[in-house]
A = this chain, B = another copy of it.
Amino acid sequence: MASTGLVKERLRNQRIELASWSFGNTGTRFKVFPLPGAARTAYEKVDDAATVHHFTGVAPSVALHIPWDAVDDYVDLAKHAASQGMRIGAINPNLFQDEDYRLGSLCHPDPAVRAKALAHVRECLSIAESVGSGILSLWLADGTNYPGQDSMAARQERLHEGLQEIYRSLPAATRLLLEYKFFEPAFYHTDVPDWGTSYSHCLRLGERAQVLVDTGHHAPGTNIEFIVAFLLGQQRLGGFHFNSRNYADDDLMVGAADPFELFLIMREVVAAGALEGQVAFMLDQCHNIEPKVRAQIRSVMNVQEATAKALLVDEPALARAQAEGDVLGANAVLMDAFSTDVRPLLAELREDMGLDPDPMAAYLRSGHEGRIAAERGTGSQAGPAGWGYA
């Protein structure tokens, strides 16, 4: 196995980005349950992210979603973050919540809607520059619900044109990460439904266009770690949106639904030498029924544990068994790492870093949960998802 010191060193340098929207109220189409202490503003979301970083030590950035996180002065927001040891991460345009986007955004049949969408993305690029963010993270809800509703081929052309416009507007140090999603909110076809579509568009754009893998955005049974390995091999993996799922885009805590899958993903990252580097490791989750700050702490810990196990794989033994065609032997090397209890190692690391070895217990003791509940009530007035109420 790898030396513990080296493993700890790499875990200490790991960076996991939080998403602002995970701290606000979220839900399903049936109901958004308002939770005590849910963040109401971009500033509160940054504060909550800082709290997660305070207890875990490896989550010093927070992604924004515009206009959910719209503020008058983004530089001020970035300063607010910096004052707590945080920086602003990826900027996420919202191209799905305006009435105009009923039939799409960049793929919409109407050029006026496409122009509006492009303008919003450009605004986000300017926000990115002003806060020092190097990532534009683009998810399109575009698609159709019924066969024939629109031309899938024509929409691809519109998409290509729109992406080209965006790519041309990209500041020099900024990357465009193009997310794909199997389905939802579109139910017949989605314009970027799989990694192949995203990858193909990125290839046509240029090197700073890369694929974003959201671990909840695949067809049932998809081997995600294969996609990760493939994209890393082609230098086109831009980053992750981590979460977990049993069914569709469930957006559960990463590692909750299938901790083994998370380990296998992180093992491909480690094997490709991509743990340190450009790949952005971002959480993208919805804590519909559970306390949000706690859930984020847990999620960060889950990623750490999977990473620690991935780092513990006895690579020489694995390579040897693979070369010999020893199916069970090679598998056993991997499983040995997965079976290891890495919590003591991580506790040690945290102590080395001057943190509490048990971030969750420390957080609970801190009284933060009660404090924000008292201050904020049940968060912002998220509209009920339920469409039945007048």
Contacts and interface: CB of A to CB of B under 8 A. Distances in A.
A36 to B, nearest CB: 11
Contact of A260 (B33, B141, B258): B258
Count chain B CB atoms within 10 A of each CB in A25, A226, A290 and give the residue with the most. A226
Contacts of A221: 182-183, 219-220, 246-247
A104 B293 CA distance: 23
A378 to B, nearest CB: 9
Contact of A339 (B145, B225, B305, B360): B305
Contact of A223 (B156, B189, B271): B189
Q: Please indicate which of the listed interface residues A157, A380, A385 has the most CB atoms of chain B within 10 Å of its own CB.
A: A385
Contacts of A325: 102-103, 109-110
Number of copies of chain A assembled together: 4
B390 A30 contact: no
A354 interface: no
Interface stretch (A123-131, A169-177, A228-236): A228-236
A245 B221 CA distance: 10
Contacts of A156: 229-230, 233
Given A146-B327, A247-B184, A253-B146, A226 B387 contact: no
Given A185-B31, A232-B153, A341 B338 contact: no
Interface stretch (A82-90, A114-122, A192-200): A192-200
A78 to B, nearest CB: 20
Interface stretch (A10-18, A52-60, A329-337): A329-337
A257 interface: yes
A219 to B, nearest CB: 3
B245 A30 contact: no
Interface residues of A, number: 124
A150 interface: yes
Given A31-B185, A146-B327, A229-B152, A220 B219 contact: yes
A189 B259 CA distance: 17
A27 to B, nearest CB: 6
A27 B30 CA distance: 10
Contacts of A328: 146, 290-291, 294-295, 298
Contact of A389 (B68, B102, B247): B68
A271 to B, nearest CB: 7
- The prevalent SS among residues of A at the interface is loop
B382 A149 contact: no
Contacts of A144: 327
A286 to B, nearest CB: 8
A245 B264 CA distance: 16
A153 B233 contact: yes
A214 interface: no
A6 to B, nearest CB: 21
A267 B265 CA distance: 26
A193 to B, nearest CB: 6
Contact of A26 (B151, B154, B335, B387): B387
A383 B386 contact: yes
Contacts of A291: 328
Nearest to A380: B390
Contacts of A32: 385, 387
22 contacts: A24-B388, A31-B101, A33-B99, A33-B102, A67-B388, A102-B289, A145-B289, A146-B256, A146-B328, A146-B331, A148-B322, A149-B327, A151-B319, A152-B226, A188-B252, A189-B225, A194-B194, A194-B195, A196-B199, A290-B328, A339-B341, A380-B390
Given A24-B388, A33-B99, A144-B327, 10 more contacts: A26-B29, A27-B185, A30-B141, A109-B323, A146-B253, A151-B319, A154-B322, A219-B221, A256-B331, A298-B328
